[in-house]
Structure 1
Amino acid sequence: MKNVKFLAIVALFLLATVSTFAQKEITREEYEKQMAEYTSKKKNLEGEAGNLQKDIDNLKKQLESIQSYENCIDDLYKMVGATKADVEKFGKMISELESKIKRCEPPKADRQKDLDALKDNKISALPQYYKKVHEDLQKMLNQCEDPKPTATMYKVVPGDCLWCIAAKNQFYGEGRLWPAIYDANRDVVGANPNLIYPNQEFKIPSLSDNEKDLVRKQGPNYKSAPTN
């Protein structure tokens, strides 16, 4: 009886074992399906690897182009007798001058000297600077005007006339510009510009070159009579 029970237990164990192994086994159809999936994944990975290689090749070409460009830049620097540091310093000088010109920082003559110095520098011939230095900055500077100084006051002394005052080097250095003084002081001089008196105080306006030309065209030019 014990043997029968033992054999029954062994039989059940073997049956359970066979059942377990049967669950782990796959059919041929499932096997072929899995292999097809693996094959498809392999092809996809191979395609991605190919695209990645193309990207690497493109990056190599770009790197070669960059190196070629840098070599070209080095050749340009040699042509103007400059180093990379010289070019960078020149760029900073342009920026500083451009800021001054944008503010119309006086005197205009000094800004023109600064710009002329940049133009004379061989580095200004480089493509990245040429138009800025030789065209753009000059156009900007041409639009600037120095602020007019305030009028100077002058006290008349015996023997003065408007022509004499205008002819003084401290003012216009040109007698025929006397109408500018008269126009600025009509309320003091009155209707007759020939009659001025000692101790009268006149405003001597500052004149630009264009304003001087306009005064000269007023004519006729004559000396006003000196005071007694």
Structure 2
Amino acid sequence: MAETRIALVTGANRGIGLEIVRQLSRAGLMAVLASRDVAKGREAAAELASEGLEPPVVALDVTDEGSIRAAVDEVLGVFGRIDVLVNNAGVLHEGQTPDVSKVLQLSPAMALATYETNTLGPLRTMQAVVPIMQKGGYGRVVNLSSGAGQLAEMGSGFPAYRMSKAALNALTRVTAAELGAAPIKVNAMCPGWVRTDMGGPDATRSVEQGAETAVWLATLPDTGPTGGFFRDKAPIAW
């Protein structure tokens, strides 16, 4: 019998993160629901329990190295390894209206706060988890990026968010290149415009659609890609 893979999903108490936990659990993985607010994480887990799913919950704030280490140690203490890392936690401090968010009006403090979560958060979690994957000889890292971070189609508005996601894409490429032919795959994906608290009610995609590619990347076979950027399970331009 194949062993159960252990997945850690950040920012998973709602939206796309919660749906990723749901879909990974249904696929047979032990998906650990990580939430900055552990009480909200437990509420989300109770929602999944009504569907017959029982994800473990850990407190994890991606802006706090101590919180990340404590969460990783907790997962290791229970399961002994981490096979999959989904860097889903993200922020959009600029709101949902691009007209009020321009480069010349951008507060450097807002840009730094955005980078803390959207770019440095995944850097911190990968630094904590990838060495564990290396010891285990297996790993899948999925970075939740955005088309807003594509240099190929870069537009105006949301400069802090766009820059943080472009930097996350660079981090994805650099990490994949450094790991090379190792059995650890590192990819980024764009969920599209999804109906969540961040995306708003007018978004064109459901959370189920938004999570699907992340789940696909989290369960790639050994022959799967690494160092790529995907939407709807297909490569897209950087």
The structure in which a higher percent of residues are strand is 2
> Same fold by TM-score, threshold 0.5 exceeded?
no
Compute the TM-score of the two structures, normalised by the length of structure 1.
0.22
Compute the TM-score of the two structures, normalised by the length of structure 2.
0.21
Larger Rg: 1
